[in-house]
A and B are shown apart, each in its own frame.
Chain A
Amino acid sequence: MSDIQSQTDVFFIRRQMAETLPPPRRTSGPIGWARANLFGSAADALLTIIGIVIAVAVLVPLVEWAFVNATWTGDNREACAANTIGACWAFVRANLGQFIYGRYPDPERWRVNVFFVLMAAGIIPLAIPSAPFKGLNLLYVFIIFPVVSGFLLLGGALGLPEVETALWGGLFLTLVVSYVGMALSLPFGILLALGRRSDMPAVHYVSVFIIEVCRGVPLITVLFMAGILLPLFFPTGVNFDKLLRALFGVSLFASAYMAEVIRGGLQAVPKGQYEGAKALGLGYWQMTRLIILPQAIKIVIPGIVNTFIGLFKDTSLVYIISIFELLSTVRNSFSNPDWATSTTPASGLAFAAIVFWIFCFGMSQYSRFIERRLNTGHRR
């Protein structure tokens, strides 16, 4: 052994301890996170810095405009006239009633409030998956609530003074139009989608025709036709309410979109599910209702919510036939001489944007929650 050592002068066993290397960089905690995500490399660091600069450049003026320099109180344009660099929230505050209720008469506004409460009472339990009585809830949401609300808001019966729909407006009308659009587009969209997949030629072609015509033209056109052309087809003396015609147009348009979303879901259900259901002797409607639709709708929840969000924002187009929902109510108030200043339009539009955003963001968050929930448990 010692001979070999002396001959070769090679050691196979290390005699000295190796130098201690630094521990791995931390990957947890805020510093670790920043290092991993923001400053991973020179290019990353550069992008991070550029990003921060842009964010500051945008956010600082925005915060200054919306908060620091904003006018919060005041009874008329005097308060905001001098303020050219900040938002005029006093204007929004003073006109809030109009933004919410439109021209609905002041003493009757409680009816709109009751409508809001009734709507929440239907939607909230429906949205909570564990809440009981879903069947009853659906009946309420699709039938009872719309009928009751119709009587409540229109009046003219049971001692309630009549409020014609021309006076309806603001956020309240936006909610009415989108609610009706959603509540009708889902069932009709399902029917159109099933119709399009039908083997019966008449049903198939009628469905294809409705879907393609409604999807192929802009909503404004549909509203125009519903608002202006439709009355020409009615016999003289028969006159449908303008709002009713707008609701019809919006629902038809939304149904066509919904139909294509649902059809995507129907196509995603494996053929074996149809065969399994048929082999058990289930009829077409039983199979569709019990086996196919529950799976198809689950698959396309994101698409349905997407359509709902689009529909909610599209309701602002009903202004084209002089129906004043939230956005057009806000825009109308710009010309109010009491409040006409250089900053009121921006403030009013910002307010409208925030309201729309809250609703749409709420819907999108809810759909994410439902997706996560449905993805657990019984995935095949």
Chain B
Amino acid sequence: MTLPELATETPLDRSQLKVSSSEVAVDMVGVNKWYGDFHVLKDINLRVMRGERIVIAGPSGSGKSTMIRCINGLEEHQKGRIVVDDIELTDDLKRIDEVRREVGMVFQHFNLFPHLTILENCTLAPIWVRKMPKKEAEDVAMQYLERVKIPEQANKYPGQLSGGQQQRVAIARALCMNPRIMLFDEPTSALDPEMIKEVLDVMVNLAASGMTMICVTHEMGFARQVANRVIFMDAGQIIEQNEPEEFFLHPQHERTKLFLSQILH
């Protein structure tokens, strides 16, 4: 089987990506979720260490998005335990808000706030949730906008930006809250092909900085270069997980082989 390549500007030294920590960032134990009668998540067990980068792959409808949305309480689970950053998610709204403060999320459709400028999008949560003074929040926001290479767009509105730029703003917006964990829910799926690279570049840089990342993505090149572990899901279950090289070269499960043969050419 051919190995997927990642075309980014930043040559990545995989030694940068070693996980040394033994701290647990996210722990999911026996998590189950139903939509009515439909069993979306079946006995999910997943432990993510601090600094780890996980890529979750799988066919559509396999429950990948639902799973990571459970991690910051956008979806609630009905059975099992989810502990994020030592806070267990229950139906206590306070705890959910606490978790959300520490977990940044990037969505497929960006979900920027169209009535606010780029800078206001980035400073809103630090000002209102972290009670940061406005000036300080703006300084922090500008730093992150520089990091995603669009400081010059700060005073525009999201509608005036391209998809790739909007997604980079969305990443900067999440980073402004100084999160300990970042969730990516198909961040490049809604983008034109030529914009995917600029977003992946930002994500690779973020990985190199040691951020704990959980990414649902079909970018197998990114998975191979950046992930510590690739997780394959189908029909609400984790079917297989392995280091990227092993995962791509020697998939164990028939379903995984089929999926990889369809997605890699």
Q: Which residues of A contact B (CB under 8 A)?
A: 272-273, 275-283, 286, 290-291, 294-295, 298, 377-380
Contact = CB atoms under 8 A, between A and B. Distances in A.
B141 to A, nearest CB: 13
Interface in B73-118: 73-74, 97, 100-101, 103-105, 107, 109-115
A290 B73 CA distance: 21
Contact of B115 (A272, A276, A283, A295): A295
A290 B128 contact: yes
B158 A276 contact: no
B226 interface: no
B101 A281 contact: yes
Closest 10 A-B residue pairs measured CB to CB?
A: A276-B111, A378-B157, A280-B125, A279-B105, A272-B111, A281-B101, A281-B100, A380-B159, A281-B129, A380-B114
A282 B157 contact: no
Interface residues of B, number: 28
Given A275-B107, A283-B129, 13 more contacts: A272-B111, A276-B111, A277-B113, A280-B100, A280-B125, A280-B173, A280-B174, A281-B100, A281-B129, A286-B128, A298-B115, A377-B159, A378-B158
A281 B177 contact: yes
B248 to A, nearest CB: 31
Contacts of B177: 280-281
B124 interface: yes
B72 interface: yes
Nearest to B128: A286
Contacts of B16: none
Contacts of B111: 272-273, 275-276, 279
Interface string B64-77: 00000000111000
A380 B173 CA distance: 18
Contacts of A279: 72, 74, 100, 103-105, 107, 111, 174
B107 A276 contact: yes
B160 interface: yes
B157 to A, nearest CB: 3
B178 to A, nearest CB: 11
Contact of B74 (A278, A378, A380): A278
A290 B100 CA distance: 17
Contact of B125 (A273, A281, A379): A281
Contacts of B107: 272, 275-276, 279
A20 to B, nearest CB: 50
Contacts of B174: 279-280
Nearest to B129: A281
21 contacts: A272-B110, A276-B107, A276-B111, A279-B72, A279-B104, A279-B107, A279-B174, A280-B125, A281-B97, A281-B100, A281-B101, A281-B177, A283-B129, A290-B124, A291-B113, A295-B113, A295-B114, A378-B115, A379-B114, A379-B159, A380-B114
Contacts of A377: 157, 159
B134 to A, nearest CB: 14
A357 to B, nearest CB: 34
A286 B129 contact: yes
A276 B122 CA distance: 12
A378 B129 contact: no
B113 A276 contact: yes
Contacts of A286: 128-129
B125 to A, nearest CB: 4
